[in-house]
C-alpha cells in the first residue's frame, strides 16, 4: 500500500509540474544565435485580409521582420516606431513586416485599427514561420539584407527611432 501511495504521489507531481505542449519551449535561446549570416527562412503567410505574401515577393528589399503579439506590451509600444520607420525608409527600399502570432486574427485587426499602423502585417497563428526563425521571446526583430541573408536580430524592445539604428539601416542601403 505504501508503494501505491508513493506512486500515486509521484504521478500527481508529474501531472502538475510537467508542462503542456503549449508551454514547452519551441526554440532554445542559443538556436537563434546561429541565424546571422545565413539565408533567411522563406515563408508564405496571409495578411489580415487573407491575401498571401511570400518571402520571394520581398526580394531585393532590406527587411525588418518583427515577431509580435497583441498581448505583449513591449510589442504594442514598438508599433508607432515601426510605422515611422516604414514611412521614413519606404522609398529607399526598406520594408517593415510585422508577423503577429496571436491565434485570433480579429484581435490583431482590432489592435491595429486603434494603433493606426499601415506597414505589412502577416498572421502566423500556427507559429510555423516563428519556429523557422527560432523565436523564443517577444518582440524579436530580424534585419534581412537585399540578398535574403539575416544580418542581425534584436530581442526585446529597441529604440527604432534612434540615430544608431538609422546608421545600421543606412549601412545596408546601396
pLDDT digits (tens, 9 = 90+) for 78-102: 999 999 999 999 999 999 999 999 9
Q: What is this structure's pTM?
A: 0.84
Superfamily per CATH, domain 34-172: Glutaredoxin (3.40.30.10)
Distance CA 79, CA 112 (A): 9
Distance CA 72, CA 124 (A): 15
What sign does the dihedral 45-99-134-153 (CA atoms) show? positive
Q: Which of 20, 42, 33 is nearest to 137 (CA)?
A: 33
State phi, psi for 35 to the nearest 5 degrees: -80, -40
Q: Which of 144, 143, 169, 154 is nearest to 60 (CA)?
A: 144
Residue-wise pLDDT for 115-157, tens only, equals: 888 899 999 999 999 999 999 999 999 999 999 999 999 999 9
Amino acid at each position: 500500500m505504501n508503494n501505491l501511495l508513493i506512486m500515486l504521489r509521484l504521478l500527481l507531481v508529474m501531472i502538475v509540474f510537467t508542462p503542456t505542449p503549449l508551454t514547452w519551449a519551441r526554440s532554445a535561446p542559443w538556436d537563434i544565435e546561429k541565424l546571422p549570416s545565413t539565408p533567411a527562412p522563406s515563408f508564405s503567410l496571409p495578411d489580415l485580409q487573407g491575401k498571401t505574401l511570400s518571402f520571394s515577393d520581398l526580394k531585393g528589399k532590406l527587411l525588418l521582420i518583427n515577431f509580435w503579439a497583441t498581448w505583449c506590451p513591449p510589442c504594442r509600444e514598438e508599433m508607432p516606431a515601426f510605422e515611422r520607420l516604414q514611412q521614413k525608409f519606404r522609398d529607399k527600399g526598406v520594408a517593415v513586416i510585422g508577423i503577429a502570432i496571436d491565434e485570433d486574427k480579429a484581435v490583431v485587426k482590432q489592435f491595429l485599427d486603434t494603433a493606426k499602423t499601415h506597414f505589412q502585417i502577416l498572421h502566423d497563428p500556427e507559429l510555423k514561420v516563428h519556429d523557422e526563425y527560432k523565436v523564443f521571446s517577444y518582440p524579436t526583430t530580424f534585419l534581412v539584407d537585399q540578398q535574403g541573408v539575416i544580418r542581425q536580430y534584436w530581442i526585446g524592445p529597441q529604440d527604432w527611432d534612434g540615430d544608431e539604428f538609422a546608421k545600421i539601416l543606412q549601412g545596408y542601403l546601396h
